[in-house]
Amino acid sequence: MKKVYSKPVILRNVYIYAEDRDFEDGYIILNNGIIQEIGEMVSLKEEDILDFEDILVPPKCKLLPGMIDIHIHGVAGADTMDASFEAIHTMATSLPKEGTTSFLTTTITQSPAAIENALKNISSYIENQDDRKAEVLGVHLEGPFISAKRAGAQPIEYIQNPNLHTFQNWQRLSNNNIKLVTLAPEINGAIEFTQYLVNHGVIVSLGHSDANYEEVNKAIQAGASHVTHLFNAMSGIHHREPGLTGSALLQDALFIEIIADGKHVHPEMIRLAYMNKTKDKIILITDSIRAKGLKPGLFDLGGQTVAVDETKATLQDGTLAGSILSMEKAVQNFQKYTDCSIRDIIQMTSTNPAKQLNIYNRKGSIAKGKDADVIVMNQNLEVLMTFCRGHLAYAKGY
C-alpha cells in the first residue's frame, strides 16, 4: 500500500487548515517530500491536474498537519527498550495509522547497559530511516534521574542522581539525538544538570518528581521549560504548597504534556488544565507502551509485567504503566472534554511540539516548503489518510 509516486501528489476538494489561513475548498501539492503549493480549487485549472498523482479524498474532510508524539514507549508489540532496528521500524510503520508522522522514541529507567543499547540502536535507525514512515526525531530520556518517591511505573532499582559523565556518554552513543530529558528537580545535582542540558540544546522536562513550588522555580530559572504527563507521578496541589502540579498550571514558562485517555487524568482536570494553560502551552501525548494496538494480555515494560485490558495498563499493584492511547483517540477525547477548536488541536498536537523541538521551520504546520507531513480526517476526527514526507503511509480500509 505504501506506494512511491512518480509524479507530485495532489489532494483536492478538502478543507485545509494551513499555517496562516483556512482553505475551505482547497488543494495541496506534495512534491519531493515537501509541500509545494496550497490554494483554493477555484484557482486550479482542470488540465493542471493531469500533471499530478490525483489521490481521491472523501467528501467533507479536513487536512491537518501530521501529529508529533514526543512521549511514546511503544506500539504493536514493539518498545524502544527492545534496542532492535525491527522494533523502531514497527513503531514508525504503525504510528501513521493514528495520524502520527513523527515522534521521540522514549526510554524508561533501566540499567545503564539497557539504556546504552537502546540509544545506540536509535542512532543507527535514524541514520537509515525510511521517509515513507513516521520520522524518528530523536530520544525522550524518561529517567533514570527521577524521584524514587514518584517513580510510578519506572523501576526504582535503577533510579540515580544526575551524572554529567553518564549523560555525556549517552549523548555520544545517541549521536546527539537525546532531545528531551525528564528529571526530578529536587534531587541532588538536578539544577546544575538542568543548566548543562539547556546550554547544550536539550529540553528539560520536570516529572516523576516530588518537588515543591520553590524547587520548581529554581529549575525554571535554570532553564526547565516542560512538564512530563501533568498530574501523573508528581507532587499534587495543596492549599499551602502548590507542588509541581500547581506550579505547572501557574508558570507560563512551562509546557505541559497531557495523557487524554480518561484514565490517567479525570476529564474535568483536563478541562482545568486547558483553562489555565490554554492551547499555547499544552502538548498531547500518548505515553503508550507495546500493548497499544494488540489484544488485552500481559506485556513487558522495562522488565516489569504489565496487565492490559481494553482501557488501561497497570502493574501488579495497580499502578498505571503507560497507556494504550492513540493520538487519534487523544484528540477525540480532548475535544470532547474541553470543546476546543480544530485549530487548538493542531496547536497541541503539532505546532507546540515542533516549536519545543526547534523544528517549526520544517514541521508543525501546513505551509509551503515544509515537510509534507499531513493527515486527512473526517468530521468525527478519525484518521483516513496519513502522508509522511509526501508518501501515503496509511489509508483507512487498505
| Domain CATH for 51 | 2.30.40.10
- Whether residue 260 sits in one domain with residue 126: yes
Query: According to the model, what pLDDT value does residue 5 have?
Result: 66
CA distance linking residue 63 with residue 57, whole number of Å: 10
Q: Does 4 fall in a domain?
A: no
Q: Are 326 and 378 members of one domain?
A: no
Question: What is the β-pairing status of strands 100-106 and 391-395?
Answer: unpaired
- Joined grid coordinates for residue 75: 506500539
For residue 3, the model assigns a pLDDT of: 56
Per residue in 140-175, pLDDT (tens digit) is 999 999 999 999 999 999 999 999 999 999 999 999
**Contact call for residues 351 and 68 (beta carbons, < 8 A):** no
Closest CA relative to residue 373, chosen from 120, 148, 92: 92
Closest CA to 34 of 396, 383, 378, 363: 363
Specify if 170 maps to a domain.
yes
Q: Give yes or no for a cis peptide into 144 (omega within 30° of 0).
A: yes
Shared domain check, 146 and 133: yes
Cα-based distances in Å from 215 to 188, 238, 393 = 12, 15, 44
pLDDT digits (tens, 9 = 90+) for 350-361: 999 999 999 999
Q: How far apart, in whole angstroms, are the C-alpha atoms of residue 211 and residue 238?
A: 13
Q: Are residues 169 and 241 in the same domain?
A: yes
Give the model's pLDDT for residue 4. 59
pLDDT of residue 51: 86
Work out the average pLDDT over 271-292: 97
Residues 6+ apart with CB under 8 A from 65: 17, 346, 350, 351, 363, 364, 365, 366, 373, 374, 375
Say if residue 200's pLDDT is above 70.
Answer: yes
Query: Does residue 387 form part of some domain?
Result: yes
Structural domain contains residue 21:
yes
Burial 19-35 (b: 16+ CB within 10 A, else e): beeebeebbbbbbeebb
Catalytic residue among 69, 79, 82, 287: 287
| pTM listed for this prediction | 0.97
Per the structure, how many domains does the chain have?
2
- Owner of C-alpha cell 524547587: 215
**Rounded Cα–Cα distance for residues 78 and 5 (Å):** 29
Same domain, 26 and 105: no
Residues 90 and 205 in one domain: yes
The residue to which cell 520536570 is assigned: 206
Query: What pLDDT shows up at residue 135?
Result: 98
Say what the pLDDT of residue 302 is: 84
Backbone angles phi, psi at 123, to 5 degrees: -60, -45
Q: What is the pLDDT of residue 343?
A: 98
The single-letter DSSP state of residue 250 is H
Confidence at residue 398, expressed as pLDDT on a 0 to 100 scale: 63
- 255 in the same domain as 132: yes
pLDDT score, position 48? 80
Query: What value does the CA radius of gyration of the chain take, rounded to a whole number of Å?
Result: 21
Dist. CA 220–CA 242, nearest whole Å: 15
Domain containing residue 41 = 9-64+366-395
361 occurs within a structural domain: no
Percent residues over pLDDT 70 in the chain: 98
Quickly state the pLDDT bin for 37 (edges 50, 70, 90).
very high
Judge if 72 and 36 occupy the same domain.
no
d(CA 203, CA 140): 9
Q: Is residue 259 part of a domain?
A: yes
Q: How confident is the model at residue 26 (pLDDT cuts 50, 70, 90)?
A: very high
Query: Is the residue at 1 inside a domain?
Result: no
pLDDT at 1: 44
3-state helix, strand, coil in the chain (%, to 5): 30, 30, 40
Say if residue 80 is in the same domain as residue 54.
Answer: no
Residues 125 and 237 in one domain: yes
Are residue 197 and residue 307 in the same domain, yes or no? yes
Instruction: Look up the CATH number of the domain holding residue 326.
Output: 3.20.20.140
Q: How many residues does the chain have?
A: 398
In percent, the amount of the chain with pLDDT more than 90 equals 92
One domain, residues 346 and 386: no
Residue 215 lies in a domain: yes
One-character DSSP codes across 134-169: PEEEEEEEE-SSS-GGG-TTS-GGG-----HHHHHH
Q: Is 287 a catalytic residue?
A: yes
Stretch 119-131: mean pLDDT: 96
Residues 292-303: what's their mean pLDDT?
Answer: 91
How distant is the alpha carbon of residue 58 from its chain centre? Answer: 27
